[in-house]
Amino acid sequence: MSFGSAYLTLPDFEYHRPSTVDDVISLLKDHGDDAKVMAGGVGMIAFMKERLMSPGHLIDIKGVEELRRIQQIPGVGLRIGAAVTYQELVANDFLCSNYNILQEVARRTGDPMIRARATLVGNLCEAIPWIDSAPALIALEASVEIVGPGGTRSVPAEGFVRGPVDIDLRTDELVVAIELPEKNAAARGAFEKFTAGSEFSVASLAATLLPSGSARMVFGSVNSAPVRSKEAEKILAGSGLNQATVKKAAKAAADELECASDVLATSEYRKHLVEMLTLRALWRLTRS
């Protein structure tokens, strides 16, 4: 990932490798805004080389064993630790069988070298508009588990990313895991994205049809934060999945969503992509 900077070296910082969550929280409390947490380091190191951030203290959480686990919790769902890599998600049979859109996101992230280091939580916490993790997590009604000096709190993935590089996380808190609800393990889902040859998504869609009969249509990269098409969801929940409703839902999503213009695409082109990605994802679901 590069934004065109000529810097090739990292700024000076003090490196910490704690072994427990309590140690991480203590370091964050001691160093405040001057500390940053790193797991895979894919985005963090790039940002530091670009001088987009220059923390005086870098806290590497890969040594915290409890953050490296993927756990099935009866009655709760699937818990994915903050240091779990995308490659570990791709290789997890339970995830692939039960939460397929998140597995699709992991499989289509970067290349094998990137997937071996990059983490789901790290991608989510970067909160740049073109991230693919947030739409899938919102579509699956995931929650974000956060630990801080005041204890543990849980935040819905929907709303955790508030805008570009803006998340519901204080400087003395740590995201320790993502939890996927057991009740949505049987959701039918499809993930689609369009990149136009770039490493970034120009538009993406995570679509789920839940066992309750409701639908979630979550679009990424079309604006500053992931957004749902409530109109498309109403159409799908009210009429089921067929040729007429697929076309109607696709048009409703394109008409409803406000799309941004930037160096990658105009708002008009993104609206076109919203409609095309919706058609593609829903046609896939009709065959599943």
pLDDT above 80: residue 142: yes
Determine the pLDDT at residue 186.
64
pLDDT at residue 266 greater than cutoff 80: yes
Higher pLDDT, residue 66 or 199? 66
Q: Span 78-102, mean pLDDT?
A: 94
CATH class of segment(s) 14-60: alpha beta
pLDDT over threshold 50, residue 1: no
Quote the pLDDT of residue 238: 74
Average pLDDT over residues 170-182: 96
Query: 188-286: CATH homologous superfamily?
Result: CO dehydrogenase flavoprotein, C-terminal domain (3.30.390.50)
- What is the sign, positive or negative, of the torsion defined by CA atoms of 22, 24, 27, 33? negative
CATH topology of domain 65-184: 3.30.465
Distances (CA, A) of 97 to 62, 100, 177, 187, 230: 27, 6, 20, 10, 27
> According to the model, what pLDDT value does residue 7 have?
59
For all residues of the chain together, what is the average pLDDT?
Answer: 91
203 pLDDT higher than 60: yes
Q: Is the pLDDT of residue 3 over 60?
A: no
pLDDT(138) > 70:
yes
User: What pLDDT was estimated at residue 2?
Assistant: 47
Query: What token pair was written down for 13?
Result: 């910082």
Given a cut of 80, whether residue 202 has pLDDT beyond it is yes
Q: What integer is the mean pLDDT of 138-155? A: 96
DSSP string spanning the chain?
Answer: ---S----SPPP-EEE--SSHHHHHHHHHHHGGGEEEESS-HHHHHHHHTTS---SEEEE-TT-GGGG-EEEETTTEEEEETT-BHHHHHT-HHHHHH-HHHHHHHHTSS-HHHHTT-BHHHHHHH--TT-SHHHHHHHTT-EEEEEETTEEEEEESTTTEEETTEES--TT-EEEEEEEEGGGTT-EEEEEEE-TTSSS-SEEEEEEE-TTS-EEEEEESSSSS-EE-HHHHHHHHHH-SSHHHHHHHHHHHHHH------SS--HHHHHHHHHHHHHHHHHHHHT-
Q: Where are the domains of the chain?
A: 14-60, 65-184, 188-286
The whole-number pLDDT of residue 5 equals: 52
Two domains, one topology: 65-184 and 188-286? no
29-73 pLDDT per residue, tens: 999 999 999 998 888 888 898 888 899 999 999 999 999 999 999
